[in-house]
Structure 1
Amino acid sequence: MRLLEGQVALVTGASGGIGRGIALRFAEQGASVAVHCRTAVAAAREVASRIEDMGARAVVLEADLRDEEGCHRLVRAAAEWGGGLSPGRLTALVNNAGVQPTRPLPGMTAAEWQEVVDTNLSSVFACTQAAAEVMGPGGSVTHIASIEASHPAPEHAHYSASKAAVVMHARAAALEYGPHGIRVNTVSPGLIDREGLARDWPEGVERWTRTAPLARLGRPEDVADACVFLASPLASWITGHDLVVDGGVSARPTW
């Protein structure tokens, strides 16, 4: 029995990187997956095609999550699709979509701050609210946060603040949606590898692998496995929790 057999999941920002890994892993574990993208439609269709090649069901849904109504429309569309077999059904939401620009805090504009907050935090609020309206007991919501929620990095003030708020949103939502049988958790990744990262940021990759107890970068599949666990029956008594997936970096002393 696969861990997510019979589930219908919506993964935001699923056209590449971590979101792609989550969507594929959910499908491997038996879920039907609504693959969300904002503009990368071709990449999202490629993810959906790979899911269908596994024998699972997928649909591509486009939405701008900076718009509250866009979030609600997306969730409604995913529920109405219902895995292609059960219209009105949505059992899992993974709020993965986000941006990570760099900008020194001195000189950062309010518009630059707001862009990150709207994408990384306000979308989580709106999508979670919409999902909770259509999920029944047993539903799960997982936000992708970051270890930067508690370990800020230079030029990431807007990103770190948004991710810290995402962690607290999950705890608050777990408290309020728990009586409805809906669980809400976060996964906080460390540095996740991507194509070209070692070329673009060699000193950072070297510093990370030297510091991490497990001595490697993370992979999208590492984050995806954590999300599968939290959406599965194995986590049926876990809510309001932040699951750190960072190869042990957070355990390293900072003094």
Structure 2
Amino acid sequence: MIVLWLILALAFTDPQQSTPTPDEQATMQRAQLEHERHRQAVVQLNELAGRIHSEADALAFVDGIADIFADSLPAAWAGPSIRQRVAHAEYEAISDPLRLIPEQRIADVWNEYVREIGAPEEAVVNAAEIHSMRDADYASGQAMWTRGMNESIWTMPNFYATGPDGKISDGCRAIEALRVIYDLDRTFDNLRGARDRLRKGIVASDEIKKHLKNADPNQKTGFRVLVRAELRESTNPLRPAEYRYMREHGLDNFNQLLERLFVELFPSE
């Protein structure tokens, strides 16, 4: 399943490759430049996520996240009112641990969505499953980030709510709550992996720590992460239900459902 995400293995040999053509070299250079631009933007966002001291800081962080997803985020979900509401919840969660978004609330909102669109019972979650997903995401992402293996929006560690023991808290900051919803919808195998770990009594962060204990912290080259991503749409029970709901009720009603659930996730005071 998707974790032992990080059973980090050493792979010292690279496959033999033919010399790229000039066009291929140009394409590779453009890709490298774009990757570096993205990496630098994410590094700055991660630094900002770790030093939010005001609602203005939180809004700058939310704006930065929205900019990363500008090409795929619908305009209706990137407007000022949405950003400000998320930024307010982000700052509240940082300034007062009692204002963290409970995992149970995330589960309740998600389960309401599942039932509204008529998705299978498999898609219903509980707080323990969400916690296991978050534990795996944070521990694996942090391990990759700190080793310089993968500095991306998906491994950025500073937006997680953590406790004195260095592990994730039982509640989320606002951006992380949205990340959980995204993962439940888009990478359903993450939930399947969490369920498998819970059945076996496995805590991903403990497994990752154990596997990293004897690893060379300076080792980057040849470090490989065994991750199984969800590649087939048919493996995700949400897709057919979402398409059916939009076909039967229309896109406007679907967006109204999302708006209602958004307000439930980030209620006004």
TM-score w.r.t. the length of structure 1 is 0.26
More helix, by proportion: 2
Higher relative contact order (CA 8 A, sep 6+): 2
Bigger-Rg structure (1/2): 2
More strand, by proportion: 1
